Amino acid sequence: MRELSAGEDADANTHLRFALLGPLQAWRGPTPVDLGPVREQALLTALLLRPDRTVTRQQLLDGVWGTEPPGTGAKVIPVYVHRLRRRLDAPGRGAAGSVLGTARGGYRFTPANAEGAVEVDVDRCEQLAAEGRAARDAGDLDAAAAAWSTALGLFRGEPLASVPGPFAAGERLRLTEQRLSLAQDLAAARLRLGRHAEAVGELYALAAEHPYNEALAALLMRALYAANRQADALDVYAAVRRRLVDEQGVDPGPELRQAHEAVLRGEAGAQAQAQAQAQAQTQTHGPAPIPAPPPSYQKSPRRQELPVDIGKFTGRERELGLLVADADAGVVTVRAVDGMAGIGKTALAVHAARALSAGYPDGCLFVELHGHREEHPAAGRQRVLRRLLRSVGAGEGEDSEDLDELAASWRAATASLRLLLVLDDASAAEQVRPLLPAGPGSMVLVTSRQRLTGLDADRRISLAPLGLDEAAGLLTRIVGGAGSARERAAVHEAVHELAALCGRLPLALRIVGARIQDRPLWAVEALAARLGDDERRLDELAVEDRSVEVAFKVSYGQLPPGEQRAFRALGLSPTVQFDRLTLAALLGVPPAAAEQALEHLADASLVQQVTADRYRLHDLVAAYARRVAATRPKEAAAARGGVFRLYVTAARAASDWGTSVPGADARDTGPFADWEEAAAWLDAAGTELVDVIGRSVAAGHVDDACRLAEGLVDYLTRQGRFHECRTALETALPLADRASEPRLASALRTGMGIMYGLQGHYGEARRWLTEALDLSRRADDPHERARASAGLGTFANLEGDAAESMTHFAEVARLVGELEHDDWLIGSVMTRVGDIHHQLGEHDKAYDRYTDAITLAERSGSPRLLGKTLLRLGRLQLDLGRPAEAAGALGKAEDLARRLGDVPLHSAVLDRLATAETHLGNPSAAADLRRRARALLDEQTGTDSEIVIRHQLVWYGAAAEDLTGARDFFARATNLPGTEEGRARVRRVLDALGREALGRDALGRDTLGRDALGRRGRPDSGA
């Protein structure tokens, strides 16, 4: 864009001037130009601030009207452009020669088409700001101050005042921030020049406009101190601190605290005064002569190589405090920062180095080691050493190619120096070690994606993503808070959503911020919607040479092939967190090998270690892992199959009736030692178990989804997690007909019936179990028929329908002989038969049935069946007046219930144990047991213990239910018409069930079962 020159001034009527740093205005020569209605001004603004760039009609529509476009839509754009051309172009120019040119798909502001010069005050302001920075960097503070003062003079109030539309709002915020930055730079320059009074006045005005800006407050404190107003400087700190604490709930940041400490120590004005004196000497005596080159190892002038610090540093206060903490002045201090790509390691190290720089009089050096850059190979140690030697003015040994010789020269050159050295992006500890200086009191800050465990570091800091509020703060400063309270609230919510979608990763946040700033027509909500698409998220997080995906790609590319495969596999994990067993199943390798791979990936900052044995991928890293895994579909399919089978194995091993599944091997617990280990592993997955089923469905692993849903029923219901159980079954049920095992269609319905029945929803339970029974009959599947019938019989009994209950148990009796493999199901039935004998007063037979069930439970590895049967046996012993024997059985049941985490069973056992202790003459122990039972139920449900004990049921029975229900059943049975017939029917069913159990050759009733009872012989039938 051209400026107004002297030659062009002669023809004043041919040039255009635009002023946007205030209300939008334009002039042709000295004559003001009427720019029309505010909407047309908004459209002109959108073109002026994008010179020589095509802006589409849709972009103009969005930028001027936002979410409320005119009824005519984009048709209004050409009308507005035509009107603006008539106002801005010289007569007779035509559309082709207009300063507002037409381009394919839109329009563009083309200054070259104007007859004369075109001047836009925003461009002039940016040019002056750049001139000021260049003058400052060259040491000419007077020129810098003059340039910045002129730039600030271009502002005529609020930029783009009264211009409507999202585009103008975004640019208004950007230009306001630019004005603030210029004012701060000008005040700092005047302070360093010793013009304290000018600086104080300007800073007071700025601080009043921006009461929470800590950088302004720190500058004002230094200016006041330099003007011999120390008390006023301390008052400024006190006021800002009080405002931050009372209104924001935060303490002042490091910059303001350091200014406060400098004022207290009397050091706040020293640096500015020294710089002012140096400037004055240069102006009086002219530049100093150029000194001769220093001899080897002679100190060169202090070298400052630290990169420019990013704007307002956000978060990381704890980590920053660790980096800038006092160090031992007698040694070289090394502090290492590691973390994943884009986590903000360099920004933190540079910020810390700038805070520390005043304490290192011999220089602050910065070296980019390129350890993880796609476009740069890692910096060779010899090249870096030669560069460092030149930085400290040491020439001897510089031409050598020998690493040891160069390292020795570096140590000799720095032995008497106190340096601050930042080594950024190291690839390994061996790259760093030769670069360490030798001067006591020196400090080295090292950043790397690797943990660099081979480097002796005073402090090692591993960075995590920013907190959500800190992440949102980065974006809020770009998006701004203009508009109504309602609009600000919407932007606040959208920015927080964006921050979360960026995984709170600083690199991703800055990319999104740059895109919003560069193209503010995009609504924040629309960008959030695109980032919410997992397939597109990484594609959206790229701008120019910055890309989240490229950063991850470099880390991935540096892994050995085996670890690359492990990384791809972790992208397929069905849960957010995982452990070595998960990775072992994904890869088909032993757990020890998987654990080693996880440790290596954690050292490379590609995996985050959550606890001692659990890990996770950052959300964006997980998206990249899924992307690279998708490039190898066969490998991915095998990995998914392996991990889904692991979950099925764990569910069956943790389930009391897992071995009851046809074809299941009770000895096959996979990588788990026993049911407790399997249950603990499932506990670690928490609420994500249902997600595993959903992901197996999505991946087409129908069998695994159905088997897992079936296996989790017992595990989830015994913990009262009924909602999760229902969701799991509802996810798998629609696919059951496609499973390779026909029985699963019935088994899942049985599970649904049991889930509803355990909550007391007997009608729903009956409906599902009836469906299961019908399907199993059509499929001629005796196993599933027996399970469904047993469930129907149990819940019919609890509903009070004695006749229906006995009908179903009679069917179970006919099927038992066909179920030689199913110790768990037969053991469950024997427990129920024992209950009925108990109520009939047939204690001898009840005892036999309970011992049958105990033996079967132990042989099938079913701790819950064992626990509930021991509970029933304890009740039998209490009814027989044998509290000591009851306490023995109940003690074993209590241990099992506690380990199972089965709250209803545990509470019921504690209640019966309390009764036994009461009979044994231990009232205090009994009271303590009852308190424990109530505490368990209060923690689980917050309801009355008696109600819960009687309503929380267990698999195919009422393990937590007192025998009142059974007594009621028999009371109802004996009151039915034809009492003797009813009793005879009950006995026939019981005898049939007992004969089936007694006929099993391997039952061994007098071995394991009796050992579990802790007593000898059977109870006397007359007891």
Q: What is the DSSP code string of 908-977?
A: HHHHHHHHHHHHTT-HHHHHHHHHHHHHHHHHHT-S-HHHHHHH--BTTB-TTS-THHHHHHHHHHHTSS
What is d(CA 347, CA 363) in angstroms, rounded to the nearest whole number?
19
More confident position, 640 or 395 = 640
Q: Is 838 helix (H, G, I), strand (E, B) or coil?
A: helix
More confident position, 296 or 833 = 833
What's the pLDDT at 142? 87
What type of residue sits at position 316? Answer: R
Specify whether the CB–CB gap between 868 and 900 falls below 8 A.
no
The lowest-confidence range among 1-5, 57-61, 166-170, 315-319 is 1-5
Question: In this structure, how many other beta carbons lie within 10 angstroms of the beta carbon of residue 968?
Answer: 15
Short-list 316, 349, 346, CA closest to 335: 349
What's the pLDDT at 1017? 32
How many angstroms separate the Cα of 810 from the Cα of each of 816, 828, 829, 990?
A: 10, 15, 11, 9
Specify whether the CB–CB gap between 518 and 546 falls below 8 A.
no
> Could you tell me the end-to-end alpha-carbon distance of the chain, in angstroms, rounded to an integer?
110
User: pLDDT class for 587, splitting at 50, 70, 90?
Assistant: very high
Report the alpha-carbon angle 631-633-634, nearest 5: 135
What is d(CA 71, CA 62) in angstroms, rounded to the nearest whole number?
13
- Which positions ≥6 away from 521 have C-beta within 8 Å? 59, 62, 63, 166, 167
Question: In this structure, how many other beta carbons lie within 10 angstroms of the beta carbon of residue 95?
Answer: 12
User: pLDDT class for 3, splitting at 50, 70, 90?
Assistant: very low
How many angstroms separate the Cα of 459 from the Cα of each of 323, 326, 329, 1015?
A: 8, 12, 15, 63
Strand arrangement of the beta sheet that strand 16-19 belongs to: 31-32, 25-28, 16-19, 118-120
The two tokens of residue 983 are 């009793």
What's the pLDDT at 942? 34
Mean pLDDT of the 953-965 span: 33
- Residue 390 confidence (pLDDT) above 60: yes
The lowest-confidence range among 343-347, 502-506, 620-624, 856-860 is 856-860
Task: Pick from 398-412, 603-617, 666-680 the range whose average pLDDT is largest.
Answer: 603-617
The lowest-confidence range among 108-117, 153-162, 572-581 is 108-117
Question: Which residue's structure tokens are 């449900």?
Answer: 941
Task: Pick from 529-533, 548-552, 562-566 the range whose average pLDDT is largest.
Answer: 562-566
Specify the DSSP class assigned to residue 118.
E
User: pLDDT class for 489, splitting at 50, 70, 90?
Assistant: low
Mean pLDDT of the 924-934 span: 86
What is d(CA 738, CA 736) in angstroms, rounded to the nearest whole number?
5
How many angstroms separate the Cα of 659 from the Cα of each of 603, 667, 752, 821, 857?
A: 41, 9, 19, 9, 11
Question: Is the pTM here over 0.95, yes or no?
Answer: no
What type of residue sits at position 262? Answer: A
Range list for CATH 1.25.40.10 in the chain: 195-287, 742-821, 822-1013
Short-list 632, 686, 676, 626, CA closest to 655: 676
What's the pLDDT at 487? 59
User: pLDDT class for 663, splitting at 50, 70, 90?
Assistant: low
- Residue 736 confidence (pLDDT) above 90: yes
More confident position, 800 or 652 = 652
What is d(CA 485, CA 654) in angstroms, rounded to the nearest whole number?
54
What is d(CA 744, CA 751) in angstroms, rounded to the nearest whole number?
10
Report the alpha-carbon angle 896-900-688, nearest 5: 170
More confident position, 798 or 237 = 237
- Residue 235 confidence (pLDDT) above 80: yes
What's the pLDDT at 595? 94
Question: In this structure, how many other beta carbons lie within 10 angstroms of the beta carbon of residue 217?
Answer: 28
Residue 437's Cβ-side half-sphere holds a number of Cα atoms within 13 Å equal to 31
What's the pLDDT at 730? 95
More confident position, 980 or 892 = 892
Question: 547 has which bridge partners?
Answer: 542
- Residue 145 confidence (pLDDT) above 70: yes
What's the pLDDT at 735? 93
The lowest-confidence range among 420-434, 609-623, 658-672, 677-691 is 658-672
What's the pLDDT at 534? 81
More confident position, 644 or 493 = 644
Mean pLDDT of the chain: 80
108 phi and psi angles, rounded to 5 deg: -150, 145
Query: How, if at all, do strands 459-462 and 333-338 pair?
Result: parallel
Homologous superfamily (CATH) of 317-462 is: P-loop containing nucleotide triphosphate hydrolases (3.40.50.300)
What's the pLDDT at 972? 40
What's the pLDDT at 560? 93
What's the pLDDT at 373? 76
- Which positions ≥6 away from 449 have C-beta within 8 Å? 338, 339, 340, 341, 345, 371, 372, 425, 555, 604, 605
* Cα dihedral 195/201/203/208 (nearest 10): 180
Question: Which residue's structure tokens are 């002569």?
Answer: 289
What's the pLDDT at 520? 46
Specify the DSSP class assigned to residue 292.
P
Specify whether the CB–CB gap between 3 and 124 falls below 8 A.
yes
Specify whether the CB–CB gap between 90 and 105 falls below 8 A.
no
Report the alpha-carbon angle 910-915-921, nearest 5: 120
Short-list 546, 545, 614, CA closest to 582: 614
User: pLDDT class for 800, splitting at 50, 70, 90?
Assistant: confident
What's the pLDDT at 526? 77
What is d(CA 826, CA 855) in angstroms, rounded to the nearest whole number?
11
What's the pLDDT at 423? 95
What's the pLDDT at 579? 94
- Which positions ≥6 away from 50 have C-beta within 8 Å? 108, 109
Return the CATH number of 822-1013, one of 3.20.20.70, 3.80.30.20, 1.10.150.120, 1.25.40.10: 1.25.40.10
Domain 742-821 belongs to what topology?
1.25.40
Is 1016 buried (19+), middle (13-18) or exposed (0-12) by CB count in 10 A?
Answer: exposed
Mean pLDDT of the 937-957 span: 37
Task: Pick from 252-256, 636-640, 780-784, 852-856 the range whose average pLDDT is largest.
Answer: 636-640
Domain 195-287 belongs to what topology?
1.25.40
335 phi and psi angles, rounded to 5 deg: -130, 130
Question: In this structure, how many other beta carbons lie within 10 angstroms of the beta carbon of residue 621?
Answer: 28
Question: Which residue's structure tokens are 């100093």?
Answer: 288
What's the pLDDT at 294? 35
What's the pLDDT at 977? 37
CA-only gyration radius of the chain, Å = 40
Q: Would you mind telling me the total number of residues written for the chain in this entry? A: 1023
What's the pLDDT at 425? 92
Specify whether the CB–CB gap between 333 and 455 falls below 8 A.
no
- Which positions ≥6 away from 79 have C-beta within 8 Å? none
What's the pLDDT at 396? 53
Range list for CATH 3.40.50.300 in the chain: 317-462
User: pLDDT class for 334, splitting at 50, 70, 90?
Assistant: very high
Mean pLDDT of the 435-461 span: 92
Short-list 331, 327, 271, 329, CA closest to 302: 271
Domain 6-120 belongs to what topology?
Arc Repressor Mutant, subunit A (1.10.10)
Residue-wise DSSP of 751-795: HHHHHHHHTT-HHHHHHHHHHHHHHHHHTT-HHHHHHHHHHHHHH
What's the pLDDT at 94? 65
Locate the DSSP E strands across 470-612: 542-543, 546-547, 577-578, 608-609
Mean pLDDT of the 894-903 span: 84
What is d(CA 226, CA 273) in angstroms, rounded to the nearest whole number?
8
What's the pLDDT at 651? 93
Short-list 687, 589, 703, CA closest to 644: 703
Mean pLDDT of the 404-409 span: 88
The lowest-confidence range among 521-525, 571-575, 909-913 is 521-525
Range list for CATH 1.10.10.10 in the chain: 6-120
The lowest-confidence range among 541-545, 851-855, 958-962 is 958-962
What's the pLDDT at 304? 85
Specify whether the CB–CB gap between 853 and 865 falls below 8 A.
yes
Short-list 748, 648, 660, CA closest to 696: 648
pLDDT in tens, 281-314: 333 333 333 233 333 344 455 788 888 776 567 7
- Residue 443 confidence (pLDDT) above 90: yes
Distance of CA 516 to the CA centre of its chain: 23
